[in-house]
């Protein structure tokens, strides 16, 4: 399965993420990914996404990770609702487990 996900680059405590298209079973380490479709810098909030290429890969059946999906919604590349980042359990569920 093809997935659009983040690939961390940059120095320690200075992350920059490439947005890449890769196979879900193989990590995108050392540049082994199909295509780079953008980047995201969480420190400066700078981002650049190739919208047409992302739409192409989504039409080919690729899935976006939760974080990438939320970035695409925020940039209005896709018109869907954001996905929750964390699934928090209620206090009752924690004590019952």
pLDDT in tens, 57-79: 999 999 999 999 999 999 999 98
Strands 63-64 and 2-11: parallel
3-state helix, strand, coil in the chain (%, to 5): 30, 35, 40
Domains in the chain, start-ordered, CATH in brackets? 2-83 (3.30.1320.10)
Tokens at 41, concatenated = 């810098």
Q: What gap in Å lies between CA 52 and CA 77, rounded to an integer? A: 9
At 23-56, the pLDDT tens digits run: 988 877 777 899 999 999 999 999 999 999 999 9
- pTM for the full predicted model: 0.81
**What does the pLDDT read at residue 97?**
61
């Amino acid at each position: 399965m093809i997935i659009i996900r983040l690939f961390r680059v940059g120095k320690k405590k200075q992350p920059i993420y490439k947005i890449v298209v890769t196979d879900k079973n193989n990590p995108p380490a050392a540049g082994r990914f199909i295509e780079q479709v953008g980047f995201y810098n969480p420190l400066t909030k700078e981002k650049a996404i190739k919208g047409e290429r992302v739409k192409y890969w989504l039409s080919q059946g690729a899935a976006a990770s939760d974080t990438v999906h939320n970035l695409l919604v925020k940039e209005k590349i896709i018109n869907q609702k954001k996905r929750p980042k964390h699934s928090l359990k209620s206090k009752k569920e924690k004590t019952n487990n």
